[in-house]
Amino acid sequence: MTDDSLDSPSRRRALGCLAYGGAGTLFVLAGGVFTPLDLAAAAADADRTARLGRPLFVQLSDTHIGFNKEANPDVDATLTRAIDLVNVMPQAPALVIHTGDITHLSRPAEFDHAQQLFSRINAGEMHTVPGEHDTSDATVSEYFSRFGKASNNKGYYSFDHAGVHFIALVNVLQFKPGGLGTLGSDQLEWVEDDLKGRSASTPIVVFAHMPLWSVYEPWGWGTGDAPQLMAYLRRFGSVTVLNGHIHQIVQKVEGNVTFHTARSTAYPQPAAGVGEGPGPLKVPADQLAGVLGISSVSLVKHPHSLALADRTLV
């Protein structure tokens, strides 16, 4: 049954201020409305916690294996901590989704090491999309030789799991001066075709590296041709769009579409427009774990709703 408190406008208003929450904010998507909840409140209500359902997948992002500058000299350790958090979940998630920047420099040794670290994750299977750091080798082949199989080396693909339709997209391979990501007409046509004939009640999860909405254009935090993608998605009752790239949580709800960017497991970046530009942000060592993290998504009332939780590495 529906949870009355979720549907209460006053409760929604009260919780609205948590939309950009840091540690311990739980996002519940019910009937297409994505509502942030305070984890402490959820914990105090055991019944509600039980209703949050089993973990569907965990989102990892921006692991940047190979990064060794002062913002985090040990990205292996923070990724390992993130994996430990996944591995102590009461129920192992069926999937892990990595939203890109697996490596820092697209070096073979970095990819190999990342895969070695990922092999410890206690989850059914892993799905990835590349970030611009993963496609920065001169031949753009290191990522695809390892992760290209699912997409026949195109990078974009879709699959179904537990009644949810997942769409993995690539927006880091075409470069527009100015810096916004690009999906390109071939990929957009493929999405249109992929969605054709699907019931509007199918929950959709779309993931790509760069934000599929304009977070901050002056820093290239967006995707130029994403509006076309949104036109295809609008008729669906529950759409969750997950991205990485900006190393911080930013969230927006537009109709039935919820946009969410994940934290990195490697290093934070400044908030949009703060300072000279994007890049590794140095924070005091004892605060680093508090600005890194992972997200998890659970099925609430299969197959119609999803719950998304963010947690830091603290």
Partner 1 sequence: MTPKTFLAAGILAASLCTASNGAPATDAAAGTSAAPAIEQTIQVSAKNFMFTPASLTVKAGTTVTWVNLDDEPHTVFSDAGLFRSSALDTKERFSFKFEKAGTYHYLCTIHPRMLGTVVVE
- Token representation of residue 61: 């992002």
Smallest separation, CB 131 to partner 1 (Å): 9
Distance of CA 180 to the CA centre of its chain: 18
Which amino acid does the sequence have at 86? V
Q: Which stretch binds partner 1 (CB under 8 A): 49-57, 128-136, 249-257, 305-313?
A: 128-136
Q: Which stretch binds partner 1 (CB under 8 A): 20-28, 40-48, 80-88, 175-183?
A: 175-183
Q: Which stretch binds partner 1 (CB under 8 A): 11-19, 88-96, 150-158, 177-185?
A: 177-185
The interface with partner 1 within residues 187-206 (CB under 8 A) comprises none
Which amino acid does the sequence have at 92? A
Alpha-carbon gap, residue 112 to 6, rounded angstroms: 44
Question: Binding partner 1 by CB under 8 A: which of 9, 177, 197, 284?
Answer: 177
H-run or E-run covering 237: none
Closer to partner 1 by Cβ: residue 110 or 310: 110
Closest CA to 65 of 132, 155, 148, 133: 133
Alpha-carbon gap, residue 313 to 195, rounded angstroms: 36
Q: Kindly state the number of chain residues that form the binding site for partner 1, as judged by CB under 8 A.
A: 23
Q: Is 133 in the site for partner 1 (CB under 8 A)?
A: yes
Closer to partner 1 by Cβ: residue 178 or 284: 178
Closest CA to 288 of 311, 264, 267, 309: 267
Distance of CA 150 to the CA centre of its chain: 19
Question: Binding partner 1 by CB under 8 A: which of 32, 51, 113, 137?
Answer: 137
Q: Which stretch binds partner 1 (CB under 8 A): 72-80, 132-140, 183-191, 199-207?
A: 132-140
Q: Is 149 in the site for partner 1 (CB under 8 A)?
A: no
Closer to partner 1 by Cβ: residue 237 or 279: 279
The tally of CA atoms less than 13 A away on the side-chain side of residue 234 is 9
Could you tell me what percentage of the chain is helix, strand and coil, using 3-state DSSP and rounding each to the nearest 5?
A: 25, 25, 50
Question: Binding partner 1 by CB under 8 A: which of 69, 149, 234, 235?
Answer: 69
Q: Is 135 in the site for partner 1 (CB under 8 A)?
A: yes
SS3 103: strand
Q: Which stretch binds partner 1 (CB under 8 A): 23-31, 119-127, 131-139, 153-161?
A: 131-139
The interface with partner 1 within residues 262-301 (CB under 8 A) comprises 276-277, 279-280
Is residue 289 within 8 Å of 78, Cβ to Cβ? Answer: yes
Q: Is 24 in the site for partner 1 (CB under 8 A)?
A: no
Q: Is 219 in the site for partner 1 (CB under 8 A)?
A: yes
39 secondary structure, DSSP code: H
Beta bridge partners of 210: none
The interface with partner 1 within residues 85-124 (CB under 8 A) comprises 104-107
Is residue 123 within 8 Å of 161, Cβ to Cβ? Answer: no
Give the footprint of partner 1 on this chain (CB under 8 A). Answer: 69, 104-107, 132-133, 135-138, 175-180, 219-220, 276-277, 279-280
